[in-house]
Amino acid sequence: MTYDVVIPTLGRPSLTTLLAALGPGDGMVIVVDDGRRDAEPLDVPAWVTVVSGPRRGPAAARNAGWRASRAPWVAFLDDDVEPPSGWRAALAADLAAAGERTGAVQGRVRVPLPAGRRPTDWERNVAGLEQARWATADMAYRREALEATGGFDERFPRAYREDADLGLRVTAAGWRIESGAREVRHPVGPAKAWVSLAKQAGNADDVSMRALHGRGWRARAGVPPGRRARHLAVAAAGATAAGAAAARRGPRRLAPLAGAAWLAGTLELAWARIAPGPRTPREVERMVWTSALMPFMAAGWTLHGLATLPRRLRGVPRRPAAVLFDRDGTLVVDVPYNGDPERVEPMPAAHGALARLRASGVPTAVISNQSGVARGLLSAEQVEAVNDRVEALLGPLGPWAWCPHGPDDGCECRKPAPGLVLRAAAALGVDPARCAVVGDIGADVDAARAAGARAVLVPTAQTRHEEIEAAPEVARDLEEAVERLLS
């Protein structure tokens, strides 16, 4: 058994079509019934396992599904996709081709659009799934990656950003997410006239994404920049115009200017949505009135996200955004100027400490001085070979940042300078001030301090007494250091 298939559902009729196309095969097909509590039981074939969903949104439903699975891979499908004949074989081939550090393999999503006319605004919205990165319409995750990161974050209640959040955490933990050759068809379903307004609720989730993953989360997750800044500006102009018009004195003169700005922004938005569409009277009407309301909906959901952010993130422990480890003497036994992968030996507590971090979903990176390159004792290729061996023994460790310079080269990366800390934090997309550095000598502590990061010293027999005395935090071993960081 290589994989199980998990399908969260609200009981839509499309589920029957999906299961008929999927058919029985290797592994379990787990349908998570996340519909109304008083609904009729799902009518599914005997080879389908039904799990009762927690009814807290798609993230919680997917978690219930993969935790009911025991296979090394879990393939997630939306309940409105249509797998073609041979999808199971194509999935098996994608997973067989996955490397050891591949945490997920994404399938291709094809959205059929009408022939003979331009697509509507809603049809174009659904067609965006074809370019969406990490969309769970067809995504297979390695169980080990799900366990290491804790799965989907259930604080995302809508099918909007929970997939990007998991993708960012999986890649930050050192896994790769690759594209497979399999594909599914995703028909465009019916939608209410106000669907584009309902979708603005995702702006609240974007506030959480910014808080959890930093300013650059969109670029790292492959999410387009969107129009939120323009929506906020147009909404502000509209509110200013209304407020100024209602004023009895002074500000009333602002009303025409603010009103003109609101009208210009609304017309620009409406045309941007009308121009690529079919331009039928019904479509134009919808685009005009929803474009007038959309900036206010986006602004309202953004304010809601900001107001509820402390409550939504209340479950986040006060822990570092990432842990950056020194290599020699910290993760592995220090062999001076080691260029031989066969001499790599993990420190006794390294496996347990890393397992704890992975289970908590805290990403890691490695920062290491390798002055043997500058001294002519090592080649860059030898350093990389040793780094590869470290990961082969300890598992994925995230980005590697190492310095080849000597102590007299005056570089900005060699510890105790902060360069390696800053580089690793940038690779992970987190604030250096929210990182923790774990090392065995004073240079590790000083590099953390220089970057504004937290430092924990794990001394060895080579650590000088004065370095231990000067360290802000000292742990007996790596497991105790991680326990400090997570407590």
User: Do residues 205 and 156 lie in contact, with contact meaning Cβ atoms separated by under 8 Å?
Assistant: yes
User: Do residues 365 and 424 lie in contact, with contact meaning Cβ atoms separated by under 8 Å?
Assistant: yes
91 CB neighbour count, 10 Å cutoff: 27
Per-residue pLDDT for 171 more than 90? no
* Strand arrangement of the beta sheet that strand 322-325 belongs to: 400-403, 364-369, 322-325, 435-439, 454-457
Per-residue pLDDT for 234 more than 80? yes
Per-residue pLDDT for 316 more than 60? no
Nearest to 337 by CA among 306, 296, 368: 368
pLDDT, residue 6, reads 96
Per-residue pLDDT for 250 more than 80? no
Q: What is the pLDDT of residues 77-105, one digit of tens each?
A: 999 999 999 999 999 999 999 998 899 99
User: Do residues 238 and 258 lie in contact, with contact meaning Cβ atoms separated by under 8 Å?
Assistant: yes
% pLDDT > 70, the chain: 97
pLDDT band at 249 (very low <50, low <70, confident <90, very high): low
CA distances from residue 51 to 143, 160, 322 in whole angstroms, order as listed: 18, 23, 34
User: Do residues 447 and 334 lie in contact, with contact meaning Cβ atoms separated by under 8 Å?
Assistant: no
**Measured distance CA(31)–CA(15) in Å, rounded:** 9
Distance between alpha carbon 440 and the CA centroid of its chain, in Å? Answer: 31
pLDDT, residue 247, reads 76
**Measured distance CA(92)–CA(181) in Å, rounded:** 11
User: Do residues 175 and 101 lie in contact, with contact meaning Cβ atoms separated by under 8 Å?
Assistant: yes
Average pLDDT, the chain: 91
262 CB neighbour count, 10 Å cutoff: 22
Q: At what angle do helices 478-486 and 350-359 cross, to 10 degrees?
A: 20
Distance between alpha carbon 461 and the CA centroid of its chain, in Å? Answer: 40
| Plot region of 239 (φ>0 → left; ψ -120 to 50 → alpha; else → beta) | alpha
Distance between alpha carbon 96 and the CA centroid of its chain, in Å? Answer: 24
Per-residue pLDDT for 251 more than 70? no
What integer is the mean pLDDT of 148-162?
A: 86
What integer is the mean pLDDT of 225-234?
A: 93
Place of tokens 């971090």: 357
User: Residues with catalytic annotation?
Assistant: 326, 328
Q: What is the pLDDT of residues 22-37, one digit of tens each?
A: 999 888 999 999 876 5
Please report, as a single letter, which amino acid is at residue 82.
Answer: E
Place of tokens 């934090």: 425
Quick check: pTM over 0.75? Answer: no
Q: Which of 51-60, 230-239, 308-317 has the lowest mean pLDDT?
A: 308-317
Domains of the chain: 3-191 (3.90.550.10), 192-314 (no CATH), 322-486 (3.40.50.1000)
What integer is the mean pLDDT of 300-328?
A: 85
Per-residue pLDDT for 315 more than 60? no
Per-residue pLDDT for 340 more than 80? yes
